[in-house]
Structure 1
Amino acid sequence: MPQQQLSNQLAGQKKSHGVNYKRFRRWITQRSSSEGPVASTPVAPGGQCDPSFEFDTVCKRLELESPPRVHEQEHKVPQRNPPDASAVGDGSVAVVPLTTTNTTQHCARGWSDAEKSPEQQVTWVWGAAVQAQGNPQLAGSDGKRPDLQAFDILNNACTNVQGQSVMTLGAPSLLNDYYTNLLDCSCNGMIALALGSSVYLWNSETRSLVGHFEPSPDPGQLRSETLSISCLCWSRDGRALCIGNRRGEMQLWDVDHKHSMRNLRTHLSVVSALSWKQQLLSSGCALGHIHHLDPRAPTCVVGAAVQKGSICSLQWSPGDDRLASGSTGGLLHIWDNDITGIKRSRQPVMTMEQPSAVKALGWCPWQRHVIATGGGWKDGELRLWDTQSGSCLTSANTNSQICSLRWADKKRYLVTGHGLPHHQVTSWKWEFPSLRRIDQLTGHFQRVLHLAINPDNTHIFSAGADQCFHIWDL
């Protein structure tokens, strides 16, 4: 009888208040459940994390030498499509963070890769040099071959013809991304080139492949695209190479002993730029965060800053007294050398602006306060800035996208790599106040994404989206 009265009462409530009976019963069941109501805590994914969230964690790590490890339940966050950072008028696509799982766990546990769970560990292995013999010819007008191996000789010129490359080598799987920095030459003449998820070392003196290192294959699982290298940079002494990838991870590699020294995970998004200041390493990511790291310390983060817009270039000045950072929004920021500690109020000492992303960037070696920048395809302007006054000293219209930029200090030249329409490498002579074009080198079929110059300033090395690596006489 009481059960019948309860049913009648619920039915009456349903009619009087318009409440669905099934919904009402489900609500009663949830309230009476021992597990409590079902709820979810909003957690920002890696690519859309609020800047203050990461900085709060950095502050805690800096204040405590050995904080207790926090064990918490893993929250799986659905992947979302981050905002397109390429909509800045340079005609390129920027791949923004793919790491969207266990974000809070990474932040709470700290920055040491040793604290990561086993399934998140990335083991790198060294591979001996295997270079194909012969002189394979290019197949097709795009310069690509399906069986092309890294640093295969595609063309070896017998004589040096003005405006033509001395040698052309293969660079298969080179990522066609304007916002990557995948080529660098050490003070010892060792070329590091990232192809996909592997990094190849090539001796520019002997012109021979030394070897490569890459993530160890996971049995039964395809190599993830998130492991693709996004940037790399040699240390000042040429003994260590730092590599950043799309999952926000960085790895230091001891090239002399061919082993990994340390894994660093301080970013929640793509590591887009790296620069050394003696033994300290500065890194920038797609969320606009700049981290200053001391790889020798147990707690490696020693300072941090933040800027608006994704970072696509980062470089310390030759005197280590200024740091330049370029954003996808066209802002060039100049920071002082006070890098210790976390200061949310920290502001750059100078900011300049151009119409497109500040990707191509380089300090003048003999004029310590002068920096050069190149514009995207909607701009195409090569500019020299005075970082003390914030004024543009001189500029030259190249009528093409400027993808890369390097200074040759011994020749006192400036070298730029371009996209459409000619995909050329151009050398410039700066004699204040004029900026004069010296030579134009053609041979790439697609845009010249990366440039490097050997220590003697005798050769230019260029890597293009056509998956070719060229050597030019400077």
Structure 2
Amino acid sequence: MAHFNFENELNSILRMDGPLSRGPGMRKPKTDCNQSVNSSLNSSTTAKTPMKNLNRSLGPGKTPSKTPKSGGKPKTPGKAPKTPNAGDRFIPNRGATQFDLGHFKIMNNTTDNKDDELLSPSQKEYQRVMAENLNGTDVMENKIISYKQKAPAAPDGHQSNLRVLYSACKNPSSAMKKTLRVIPQVPERILDAPDILDDYYLNLLDWSCNNLLAVCLGGSVYLWNAASGEINQLLQMENQDDYIGAVSWVKEGNYLAVGTSNGDVQLWDTAVSKRLRNMTGHASRVGSLSWNSYILSSGSRSGAIHHHDVRVPQHHVGTLMGHTQEVCGLKWSPDGKFLASGGNDNLLNIWSNQFDASADTAPLYSFTQHQAAVKAVAWCPWQPSIVASGGGTADRHIRFWNCNTGLCVQSVDTKSQVCSILWSKEHRELISSHGFALNQLSIWKYPQLTKVAELTGHTARVLHMAMSPDGQTVVSAGADETLRLWKCFAQDEQKKKVQKSVGKEKSSLSLSSIR
């Protein structure tokens, strides 16, 4: 049985070399191929032949040297032949790319071109012509990559879907309105101020809530009614050599404090033109005044600051000794917690509202960043802990201080002497008056500190400023003996409408509650 099994296996092996019943017939190898096969087998026994060569030698027939025109590999059914630029990657056409021009522009931008700014127009034109002649075209106007054909135009009646993004506003005309307000560049009115002192360290102007403007002219104080235009003289110093150094209205607007050159502080009732008190104590002239409810603070040339309680006979309730030279700037914060004092010793001191007549108190903060006298001092109305201070000719900076942290939060170089600062009640802005060289008023956006406008017209330095009760008009007093009224903070019309509507709602609610 084993003999028959061996014959069956041999027949099955030999059947593999028989002719195929299906498909094309086999190609008969030539005798040369058999000889090559035998030689290759013989050589494989003597030397190690790579499998790659062995497979080549065992192949049927001679391999053609050239690929047939119809293609060497059979085509796979159901798949299209791959064509160039039709696959999964994009091969751009670099025929329109100017590599020389791109290299020239890159090298030209990386070089130092500071010397080109010193060239004259004729030299710049000469270089342009030379570059055009060398490169064959204007290098700066030519593009590195250019398209030979323009994009096709959209068909008639086509509307882009992106148009919806730009037409979402219901009223497109409202979006085109200007957001910047118009600031008049000329004053509304100009008043004469003869004999006004050209002294940087004095404060000779203040505007009350009753629309009365107090102006100091030498040894006299005049009151100008802004509503009627009436002018009245309030007082006149007895001695011809004496003069007025400062004026300040109480918050209620019915009393006026006056500082004199002989060191006295007077309190006047403007309704009856009568002096109520004469408070002494300073050793030299009083050049700055500021109210905190019933407490009147006064700064003198000696560097001392006195607190006066105008309700009691013993008015002197405190002394602050933090300056070695004249106190020329003095302002209480809106909430009454801090007092800022600026002096000719380049210091800005911040004091608390604790009054102690028995001992000298030290300031909470003493800022030394200014390089000149600090006269311009103003508190922010919507941030009571922020105070702005301006330096004189050697400093020219406006600095902003946070009295809660004791840090300088911002500063700006005004390029001129800072004489006075006022914050706007209607806008997030402030206005500053300056001396040499333009004698201008500058309006600044806060906190960006970008300049909104410059108001010019004074021919000498603008020493003093005051704001109207409604916060829309600013009056400036210059050494050119003129007063100029600027309506630079006009109220927003939309804000007016909102306030009117709120007022009507409140009145209707009150009437309904009464009924």
TM-score class, shorter: 0.5 to 0.7
8 Å contact kept, 2:234–2:270: no
Structure 2 counterpart of 1:191, which letter? L
Show the counterpart of 1:412.
Answer: 428
Is there any run of 5+ residues in structure 1 with no aligned partner, and where?
A: 1-159, 218-222
| TM alignment of 1:310-321, pairs within 5 A | 310-321=326-337
Name which one, 1 or 2, has greater alpha-carbon Rg: 2
SS in 1 for 2:480: coil
TM-aligned CA deviation for residue 216 of structure 1 = 6.2
Show the counterpart of 1:13.
Answer: none
In the aligned structure 2, how far is the partner of 1:457 from the partner of 1:166?
A: 15
Structure 2 counterpart of 1:172, which letter? P
In the aligned structure 1, how far is the partner of 2:388 from the partner of 2:439?
A: 20
Structure 1 counterpart of 2:426, which letter? K
Show the counterpart of 1:378.
Answer: 394
TM-aligned CA deviation for residue 161 of structure 1 = 8.3
1:462 aligns with 2:483: no
Show the counterpart of 2:21.
Answer: none
8 Å contact kept, 1:305–1:343: no
8 Å contact kept, 2:328–2:374: yes
Deviations 1:155-187 (A, max 9, x none): xxxxx9831111111000000000000000111
In the aligned structure 2, how far is the partner of 1:367 from the partner of 1:320?
A: 13
Show the counterpart of 1:214.
Answer: 235
SS in 1 for 2:230: strand
TM-aligned CA deviation for residue 205 of structure 1 = 2.5
1:330 aligns with 2:351: no
TM-aligned CA deviation for residue 304 of structure 1 = 1.4
TM-aligned CA deviation for residue 209 of structure 1 = 2.7
In the aligned structure 2, how far is the partner of 1:278 from the partner of 1:313?
A: 19
Structure 1 counterpart of 2:475, which letter? F
Number of residues of Structure 1 aligned to a counterpart in Structure 2: 305
Show the counterpart of 1:425.
Answer: 441
8 Å contact kept, 2:204–2:215: yes
Show the counterpart of 1:249.
Answer: 264
8 Å contact kept, 2:440–2:456: yes
Structure 1 counterpart of 2:249, which letter? W
Identify the match of residue 240 of structure 2 among 199, 224, 247: 224
TM-aligned CA deviation for residue 307 of structure 1 = 1.4
TM-aligned CA deviation for residue 417 of structure 1 = 0.6
Structure 1 counterpart of 2:219, which letter? S
Show the counterpart of 1:3.
Answer: none
Structure 2 counterpart of 1:188, which letter? N
1:194 aligns with 2:210: no
Identify the match of residue 441 of structure 1 among 439, 448, 455: 455
Structure 2 counterpart of 1:371, which letter? V
Identify the match of residue 225 of structure 2 among 203, 219, 227: 203
1:286 aligns with 2:301: yes
Q: Which has the higher contact order (CA 8 A, sep 6+)?
A: 1
Identify the match of residue 357 of structure 1 among 370, 373, 388: 373
TM-aligned CA deviation for residue 408 of structure 1 = 1.6
8 Å contact kept, 1:350–1:388: no
SS in 2 for 1:168: strand
TM-aligned CA deviation for residue 308 of structure 1 = 2.6
| TM alignment of 1:16-35, pairs within 5 A | none
Identify the match of residue 316 of structure 2 among 290, 294, 301: 301
When the two structures are superposed, what TM-score results if normalisation uses the length of structure 2?
A: 0.58
| TM alignment of 1:38-57, pairs within 5 A | none
TM-aligned CA deviation for residue 365 of structure 1 = 0.9
In the aligned structure 2, how far is the partner of 1:283 from the partner of 1:188?
A: 23
Structure 1 counterpart of 2:374, which letter? V
Higher helix share: 2
Structure 2 counterpart of 1:214, which letter? L
Show the counterpart of 2:9.
Answer: none
In the aligned structure 2, how far is the partner of 1:322 from the partner of 1:281?
A: 14
When the two structures are superposed, what TM-score results if normalisation uses the length of structure 1?
A: 0.63
TM-aligned CA deviation for residue 388 of structure 1 = 2.3
1:165 aligns with 2:187: yes
- The alignment yields a C-alpha RMSD, in angstroms, of 1.4
8 Å contact kept, 1:305–1:342: no
In the aligned structure 2, how far is the partner of 1:161 from the partner of 1:428?
A: 13
SS in 1 for 2:200: coil
Is there any run of 5+ residues in structure 2 with no aligned partner, and where?
A: 1-181, 489-515
